[in-house]
Amino acid sequence: MSVSGKWFEELELGLVIAHRTRRTITESDNVFFSTMTMNPQPLHLDHEFAAQSEFGKPLVNSMLTVSLLIGLSVPEITLGTLVANLGFEHIEFPKPVFHGDTIHAETTVTSSRASNSRPNAGIVGLEHRAINQRGEIVCRCNRTILVFRRPLESA
């Protein structure tokens, strides 16, 4: 099994990971995501409507922003080591995201404990932050994951 994510034992409390991958969000990304998820909000799809809003132009769908944030974290945290996402909470969007914004991500491990029901896994709390090209946090969320412990043959 090819693994680039971290095992439970590697996700120590306080660990901060600056994710390597970043992504520029295009208008096509936003339109595709919004229509694929059946979200007809004109703030995302209608330039004339959005021009009359306080933002003056279309906003990137916030669900795309949070999905991108989690996706950017996968290679360094959970690729090949995730059992399951257990929950998300405190999702916030302090600044808007627009077409052409480039997003990168950072993650901090906020909690870590062995699973009581799965001896081969642990439960880890993460705070993910999406940051635009101006250094502004555009999304923040807390996520709890169930992640495999390092296999004995890999120790």
Name the domain count of the chain: 1
pLDDT of residue 65: 98
One pLDDT digit (tens) per residue for the chain, 155 residues: 567 899 999 999 999 999 999 999 999 999 999 999 999 999 999 999 999 999 999 999 999 999 999 999 999 999 999 999 999 999 999 999 999 999 999 999 999 999 999 999 999 999 999 999 999 999 999 999 999 999 876 55
CA angle 15, 16, 19 (to 5 degrees): 135
User: What does the alpha-carbon distance between residue 110 and residue 50 come to, in Å, rounded to a whole number?
Assistant: 37
Phi, psi of 92 (to 5 degrees): -140, 155
In a domain, 39, yes or no: yes
Judge contact between 107 and 83, C-beta under 8 A.
no
User: What does the alpha-carbon distance between residue 25 and residue 21 come to, in Å, rounded to a whole number?
Assistant: 13
User: What does the alpha-carbon distance between residue 72 and residue 18 come to, in Å, rounded to a whole number?
Assistant: 10
Give the range of the structural domain holding residue 60, as residue numbers without chain letter: 8-154
In a domain, 72, yes or no: yes
Q: Which residues contact 40 (CB under 8 A, 6 or more apart)?
A: 34
In a domain, 22, yes or no: yes
Indicate which CATH number applies to the domain containing 131. Answer: 3.10.129.10
To the question of pTM greater than 0.85 for the whole model, the response is yes
Considering only CA atoms, give the Rg of the chain. 18
Helices (H), ranges, 25-138: 27-36, 42-45, 47-51, 62-77
